[in-house]
Amino acid sequence: MAGALVLAGGSLYLSPKITALKAIQQFFDEPQIVENFRNTNRFWPSKPLLASSAPKPYLENLSLSLPDQFTYNGKNFATPTFLEDSWSTGLLVVQNNILVYEEYFLGNSIGARNISWSMAKSFISALIGIAIDEGKIASIEEPVDQYAPQLATSGYRGVRIKDVLQMSSGVEFNEDYGDYYSDINRWGRDFALGNSQDAFAASLQRGVPPGTLNHYVSIDTHVLSMVLARATGRSITDYTQEKLYQPMGMEYPGYWLVDGKNVEMALGGLNLTLRDFAKLGSLYLHNGQVNGRQVVPQDWIDASLTPDANHLMPGDNFGYGFQWWIPAGDSGEFFALGVYNQYIYINRKTRTVIAKLSANPHFNDPDFAPASDQVHIALFRAIANKAAVAEQNKIVNKDFGES
């Protein structure tokens, strides 16, 4: 989603819109990017999420030291240098339900709310699973335009909810953040001007047959939010508050960014603290339970993390589930991912959750290792392995949220 908001307003004539464009024209520039990422509601309207009335802070034993270095593809990386060069703003590690490492950088703090970018997609996936469990959505085999008729003349006509969840909608879309004229950047300019995301989604056309190609289309997640809002009769914010924010025990207020029609930027506009982002990882590590309460159905989580077709399998690149990324290997790893290097990483084998926030202005440079998702996963594996060894049964095992 990142370059989605790289804007220029030379051809626009409406002064309020010119003002809006100018206000964010330098949003991703080095001098402003860190501050902007933790204050996105200065630029766009938003809807608040209230801290849970029953907050569930992690138990703490901040005793873990990070590995001094890690290796990717035969090359060694010094961990402190890598964290600095990737413009990290926060990193925490939860080992077997205990917060064992937490550090903030570049002026961030425990209470700072940062934009998720595409990590929000994994939250939307959880909400879809809840809506299905409640009978609000009958099946992921249903077409999205059954719930969102506005899509009936678009490339989404007849496309299954499942294919949209798996980024296999078949919609033609260019998500090249470095290309000013790409579809994702057209969407970004549209959003910045306050235009309707629903209308933008309805303008997209078919590229390939649905369910045949894993092609990343951020608007797929907006389509899921259209289905969710119409199926439940609730806004994404309201449904998030009741179904996730409250039962997960979120400690701090958060917010969703919204467009000019008061519709949430579901594909990347969730703003939370680092600790509250990590709680989604803990929820999924515990098969959807918090203190014995089933918040997200376990069968939904199992399906979400199981690529079930050849075009979804991990190989040279990561595999894909229901809005979750799946690395190759047998450690039961999966992660939520946002541009500019945002991550919620879960390793079931080591019982580790790692959350990292960043504001990396060099994210679009394919030759810059600290912008690489693959190199980040190598770092997280090294941290998870060290955390598991350091534990050595000395930390009492507690269920997520237990005090």
- Give every CB contact of residue 291 below 8 A, 6+ residues apart in sequence: 56, 399, 400, 401, 402
What gap in Å lies between CA 386 and CA 378, rounded to an integer? 13
| pLDDT value for 396 | 44
What are the extents of the domains in the chain?
2-391
pLDDT tens sequence across 82-105: 999 999 999 999 999 999 999 999
pTM: 0.94
Polymer length of the chain: 403
Position 394 scores a pLDDT of 73
Q: Residue 131 corresponds to which tokens in the numbers above?
A: 């809506």
pLDDT digits (tens, 9 = 90+) for 169-219: 999 999 998 888 999 999 998 998 899 999 999 999 999 999 999 999 999
Task: Summarize pLDDT for 304-324 with one digit per residue, the tens.
Answer: 999 999 999 998 899 999 999
> Pairing state of beta strands 98-104 and 59-60?
parallel
Residue 121 pLDDT exceeds 50: yes
Nearest to 162 by CA among 145, 148, 142: 142
The CATH class of the 2-391 domain is alpha beta
Contact 319, 326 (CB under 8 A): yes
Measuring CA to CA, how many Å separate 236 from each of 213, 304, 379? 28, 20, 33
